[in-house]
A and B are shown apart, each in its own frame.
Chain A
Amino acid sequence: MKLLTTPRMDRCIGCHSCALACARLIHKRLSWSESGIRIHSSGGLSTGYVAVRCLACDTPPCASACPTGALTPRKGGGVVVRKKHCIKCGECVQACPVDGVYQADDGNVYICIHCGRCVEFCPHNCLELQKVHEIGEVLL
């Protein structure tokens, strides 16, 4: 089982290519928000960019909060998404402590499914799909 990781975000140039790829290829959307990974400027002392995404909790609070089973725990971390079961209640958005779930104005929610389709669109190799047991520290 593999997970999307962001081990080299200090290389990020803020092009949004990863987010645009997820929206385009997974969700059939043109968007930099309606995506499982979203790039924000970090500001503050560090400056640069952060990737806001699902950190693949073992017991995902978003799945626990989901009243319809649209989100269920995924083996190895994160969730399996069954979009047709989603009633757009937004409980998962509230439950996620790291803003990993995005809800658009039409109520649809977007969360990383750890497929890794975004990885090849990062020009500087900031992202990596890694085997669960090979991940040491969660890097942002």
Chain B
Amino acid sequence: MSRDHYRVLVVDLESGKSRIEKLDGRDKTAGGSGLAAQLYQNYGKPELDWNHPEQPFILAIGPLTGIFPLMSKTICSFISPYHSQYTESHGGGRSALALFFAGYDALVLIGQASVLSCVSVGSNHVQIKDTSFMKGMNAMGAGKLIRRIFKKASGHRSILRIGPSGEIGSAMACINVDSYRHFGRMGGGAALGAKRIKGIIINGDSGREISQDKAYAQVFKEVYHKVTSTSMMKKYYNLGTAVNLQGLNDIRSLPWYNLQKTADPAISHLTGEVFADQTLLRNGACSGCPVGCIHLGFYRDRFKEEARYLYHQVPYDYEPIFAAGTMLGVTNCFDVLRVLEELELVSLDAMSGGVALAWATEATERGLIDECQTIVPLRFGDATAYQQAVQHLGRGSNDFYQLLGMGTLKAAQEYGGEEFGCVLGQEMAGYATGELFFAAQSLGFRHSHLDTGAYSWDQKNDQKDVEKGVQFLLDDEPGRVFLTSMVACLFARSVYDNEQLAKCLAVAGYENLAQNRTEISEHIRKLRWQVRVQTGFNPDEITIPKRFHEVETWKGKIDPCFLDEVKSAYGKRIMELAAK
């Protein structure tokens, strides 16, 4: 079942022609994150802008995709509209297994379609279809229409699509995957929109033979037992990541009101328990994952005086609740879902959109902007106004929203208020945990809280030791990079420890990857940073706004000097890694 090379489908949107490429490198880059970086080296143009037609759009899976549980993620890589540098975004749904069963390790889109189009791929077909009638269509409508137009394989295919935000080139545009998952951050939706691609349909319409060896079935069962019959994954299938809301509020690390506070008594209305008890409709899973961490909430509205109701299903998690809830001062769980649904429709990354609107609200309070810019009056806690503002942000209704969509600090440079823009490389994730996290997200490869475990380190350590903290970040990254090259869901990082990964790789036929994990991890980490630096990464250009200096956590006030020292030392070490 193993493949000692990569099988890559390259679709040229300009000519309409596709080709299968057989690439070497499995033993060096493994797959996923490593493969994506290798493919960018092959097809990318570091000297060109993010939206140049020659920039590739890459989807890559790993050597364990479809073979073991929770190996269910896909790496999406592109040049980000946020900073015109190479980046990755990770998503699940059915995307990984669909690509695997279509028979490819990666899909690369190059060129630009002549009109807004959808691309459908499978084991025995590639089709590019004019869908210019979908212009401006929201992500849910586009999904419905795609299911009607491309009729094959319900449940055994993955549908990726963008909303209007991707079409207008917003740096906060995400890619919706199978309705409830996303390639969320860094503007992947705009990268796809720049190619005039509204949707990608991946048909997982073939299979692969496996060895008769009983070892594979045995190791599979071992992993399956760990994820379903132990408490290792309980956090994710019980209340889900929403359980973190109470915990982070308790240790004064939950951003409220544009990070003017880190705890608030109103948390009692927004806990994981409240969402589960009042809004949880059902759970869902990414294909190949028996954990089922997707939490689908619902809200209903009475649309006539008589007892006539409509209902909506909206996925929720910790980060979206922070962004559309505490950060905006929206403290009713159903209102949070209403704002999140608008973000889904225009296909904006929830975290980026929420944080941007939190800045706009404080900027309004301070008189820097008014309704001439925001169109609707913004006030913390006013969910109805935020529902409208999300539409304006996602569709770029005026110059202000277009600029805000390119990044909070870009708007702040024009209108003022840079000091309270909650941006750490990109709009912050919901962890006001301390100096190490602020430095780590600012400089992290994806500007994601999952690049390293800094948010966790902050919750356990209060000593101000620059060297120790930075060494933790450096030591923590390779293991994560290896997992995202497999491509595992990072929720399963406790299940897939070194020993388990070695076993899985060995029975899947990847002995070299099993034996040389450490060296390969380091190689991939270095390669990713090299590609990033080639496309313009410079840690000295990334600033941390003053608001982060004012934060108070369980450890007390942030120490700005310590924060600057950590950031500076981490940036230096990253550049050394890339230069090796």
B205 within 8 A of A: yes
Which residues B246-298 have CB closer than 8 A to chain A?
A: 282-292, 294
Q: Are A15 and B207 in contact (CB under 8 A)?
A: no
Interface mask (B491-508 → A, CB under 8 Å = 1, otherwise 0): 000000000000000000
B560 within 8 A of A: no
Contact residue among B207, B282, B286 (Cβ-Cβ distance under 8 Å from A48): B282
Q: Provide a sorted-by-A list of 7 A–B residue pairs whose CB atoms are within 8 angstroms.
A: A25-B217, A30-B101, A38-B155, A38-B156, A104-B207, A123-B290, A123-B291
Q: A33-B101, A104-B207, A105-B205 are in contact. Are A14 and B287 (CB under 8 A)?
A: yes
Chain A hits for B294, CB < 8 A? 13
The minimal Cβ–Cβ distance linking A99 to chain B, given in whole angstroms, is: 11
The minimal Cβ–Cβ distance linking B234 to chain A, given in whole angstroms, is: 12
Chain B hits for A34, CB < 8 A? 207
Contact residue among B67, B156, B284 (Cβ-Cβ distance under 8 Å from A33): B156
Whole-angstrom distance between the alpha carbons of A40 and B217 in the complex?
24
Chain B hits for A30, CB < 8 A? 1, 66-67, 100-101, 207-210
Chain A hits for B154, CB < 8 A? 40-41, 43
The minimal Cβ–Cβ distance linking A109 to chain B, given in whole angstroms, is: 13
Q: A13-B292, A15-B292 are in contact. Are A31 and B206 (CB under 8 A)?
A: yes
Give the A-binding residues of B (Cβ under 8 A): 1, 66-67, 69, 97, 100-101, 123-124, 147, 154-156, 204-212, 216-217, 220, 224, 228, 282-292, 294, 313
By secondary structure, the B interface counts as loop
Q: Are A123 and B287 in contact (CB under 8 A)?
A: no
A24 within 8 A of B: yes
Across the A-B interface, give the 6 residue pairs with the lowest CB-CB distance, nearest first.
Answer: A31-B207, A40-B155, A13-B292, A15-B285, A123-B290, A13-B285
Q: Are B282 and A32 in contact (CB under 8 A)?
A: no
Q: Are A123 and B217 in contact (CB under 8 A)?
A: no
The minimal Cβ–Cβ distance linking A10 to chain B, given in whole angstroms, is: 9
Whole-angstrom distance between the alpha carbons of A39 and B154 in the complex?
9
Whole-angstrom distance between the alpha carbons of A39 and B292 in the complex?
15
Residue of B nearest to A50 (CB): B155
Chain B hits for A74, CB < 8 A? none
Whole-angstrom distance between the alpha carbons of A41 and B101 in the complex?
18
Residue of B nearest to A39 (CB): B155
A83 within 8 A of B: no
Chain B hits for A13, CB < 8 A? 282-285, 290, 292, 294
Q: Are B205 and A33 in contact (CB under 8 A)?
A: yes
Q: A15-B286, A20-B288 are in contact. List 6 more A-B contacts (CB 8 A).
A: A15-B292, A25-B217, A31-B207, A40-B155, A105-B205, A123-B292
